[in-house]
A and B are shown apart, each in its own frame.
Chain A
Amino acid sequence: MAGKSPRKLRLSTNPTPEALAELRLGDVVYLDGTIYTAREGVYMRALEEKANIPMDLPMQSAANFHCSPAASINADGSFNMGAVTATASFRFSKWIGDWMAASGAKLIIGKGGMSAEDYRQHFVPNGAVYLTTVGYGTGALLGRGVVRVKDVHWHEELGLAQAMWVIEVENMGPFIVESDLKGNSLFERENAKIADNLERLYEGTKPATLKRYGETDDRKDELI
């Protein structure tokens, strides 16, 4: 087992610019305050169909979680929330800039980060950072950080998985700092370190007899 463990910090879901500037790639963060879930359903409804966002943002929260919780609404209208896990964020690239402008989000929380290009174009100008969930799939640990479900919006229009869940959280985590205010990416830093070993690993193999369109042998490439 490795000896050095990462630095752990508490962070508000409406963080000050100073608190954000303090974050370093690879720090482990636990959140306090209110977060909301928003993914493609919410983005399309708010940004393309121009529906009014049913929250006062970023007043109520500056933390957008790319997530659909394992949750249900009981017959009496109360909520049953179990595990909470993020979904892969790279798919939301086309909306993230407009969403930040509309919502004032400073923390984008999800799975796997976004591209350095997204960080440069959208995160840096908006003074936002990306926090990635851990694992993936520390859903039960994150579920423990949920104090209560405050509200759920648009569940009739979008279904439970795409609805906008508003969640009060305390010491919710762990999350890992994937991008900083300068737009650096932890994942890209790690990819670059691993790339050096790949040549040796592939020794003795050769490209497949039948090629595929668009295929490349550059293993520094990413899928996202």
Chain B
Amino acid sequence: MISTALIQKTAEILMEKAAIEIPEDYLDGLKSAAAKEDGDLSAFVLQAMLENYEAAKEDRRAMCGDTGTPRWYVKMGNEARIEGGPIALETALRRATANATQNVPLRPNRVHPLWRTDHNNNVGIGAPEIEYAFEPDGEWIDLITVHKGGLFGTDYRMLFPSDGIAGIKRFYLDSLVAFGKRGLACQPAIIGIGLGGTKDACMVLGKRAACLRVVGDKNPDPKIAALEAEFTELGNNIGMGAMGFVGSSMVIDCNIEVGYCHTGGMQMSVHAFCLSSRRAVARIYADGQVEYRTDPDWFTPYQRRETVEWEDSTWLEKAHAN
């Protein structure tokens, strides 16, 4: 049984880590981009960002003043049991969000869409979002917080099979060029692309591809992985860098996720995570042990399963080994 007090305490630590500590995979990616950047202004911006990450860690203050819209992804092993059940879990996550907003502090971004009223704690109707997934084995629960920023850099389009890969490429370029101007997308970023599903599922896939996969990670389908590599390079050949200045730093990595869609359509979404790439993860075990990490490891073979039945865990272990 996992205690709700431990969930809340862990969630508060995660909120702080996400806001303050740049994930190592993204930091390494940005450093290689900075080493290659030839544009004077773009290079200056990347250098300033690298100094900013250091300052945030030293001072224990948020990397960026716009601390995004905090949300939660919860993944549970099939055997996990939570004290007080799912309602207690959700209460703990809402409390942690409000407390961390006051204590880090985070910017209380969340307001009512029409009345613009503000609880000053990032909690309100539908906020923070809490999304769930499950894994076949384990008594653990993974808490993942993502504080994605940005009102820009995300778009959706209904494409069709006749649009093909060339159509996907064009919409990808359209999104990068349009939102990259003036640096509205806060690039260079991890770009997530969702393909297929339904309109809402496609948006979810693209967002998760940007926020829940790390730099260097590849889609298990080799042809999709090749597309990811091609799109990373393509984005960095636009001629645009940080803040939309002349340069080559646009995409730190491109992650593509797919879902089965209507036979007539080919939904596509593009999501740019930002220069702060705020994500933090903890696994809480039934015995009270907590392990912190920055890789959400969301897209397991189980999450990408294609078949009616899920095979036993031997199959799972084999899939992991490959």
Contacts and interface: CB of A to CB of B under 8 A. Distances in A.
B62 A5 contact: no
Interface stretch (A10-18, A55-63, A94-102, A195-203): A195-203
B182 interface: yes
A144 B160 CA distance: 50
Contacts of A41: 116
Contact of B167 (A2, A4, A136, A208): A208
A224 B182 contact: yes
A159 B111 contact: yes
B177 interface: yes
Nearest to A138: B52
B170 A205 contact: yes
Interface in A164-220: 174, 176, 186-187, 190-191, 193-194, 196-198, 201-202, 204-210, 212, 219
A142 B65 contact: yes
Interface string B17-39: 00100000000000000110111
B183 A68 contact: no
Given A134-B48, A136-B183, A144-B55, A2 B39 contact: yes
Max chain B Cβ within 10 angstroms of own Cβ: one of A26, A87, A209: A209
Contact of B149 (A137, A202, A204): A137
A219 B152 CA distance: 17
A21 interface: no
Nearest to A137: B64
A82 B45 CA distance: 21
Contacts of A132: 243
A86 B149 CA distance: 12
B118 A143 contact: no
A143 to B, nearest CB: 5
Interface in B39-88: 39-45, 48-49, 51-53, 55-56, 59, 61-67
A19 B149 CA distance: 35
Given A68-B66, A137-B66, A140-B55, A4 B40 contact: yes
B101 interface: yes
Nearest to A215: B174
Interface string A136-152: 11111111100000000
A190 B111 CA distance: 35
A195 to B, nearest CB: 9
Given A5-B44, A88-B151, A201-B238, A72 B61 contact: no
Q: Is the interface of A mostly helix, strand, loop or mixed?
A: loop
B63 A83 contact: yes
Contact of B157 (A83, A201, A208): A208
Given A137-B64, A143-B61, A161-B118, A112 B159 contact: no
Contacts of A68: 65-66, 107, 109
Contact of B65 (A83, A160, A197, A205): A83
Contacts of B49: 134-135, 137-138
A88 B48 CA distance: 19
Contact of A205 (B39, B64, B173): B173
A104 interface: no
A219 B53 CA distance: 34
A209 B160 contact: yes
Contacts of A138: 48-49, 51-52, 64
29 contacts: A2-B38, A5-B43, A6-B44, A68-B66, A68-B109, A70-B19, A70-B105, A82-B61, A83-B56, A83-B62, A85-B65, A113-B182, A132-B243, A137-B52, A137-B276, A138-B52, A139-B62, A159-B111, A161-B109, A187-B243, A193-B239, A194-B238, A205-B166, A208-B163, A209-B160, A210-B158, A222-B182, A223-B179, A223-B184
Interface of A: 1-6, 26, 28, 41, 67-72, 80-88, 111-113, 132, 134-144, 159-162, 174, 176, 186-187, 190-191, 193-194, 196-198, 201-202, 204-210, 212, 219, 222-224
Given A67-B65, A206-B170, A210-B159, 12 more contacts: A6-B41, A41-B116, A70-B67, A83-B56, A83-B64, A88-B152, A138-B48, A160-B118, A161-B107, A187-B182, A205-B170, A212-B157
The 4 closest A-B CB pairs, nearest first, are A85-B65, A159-B118, A137-B64, A205-B170
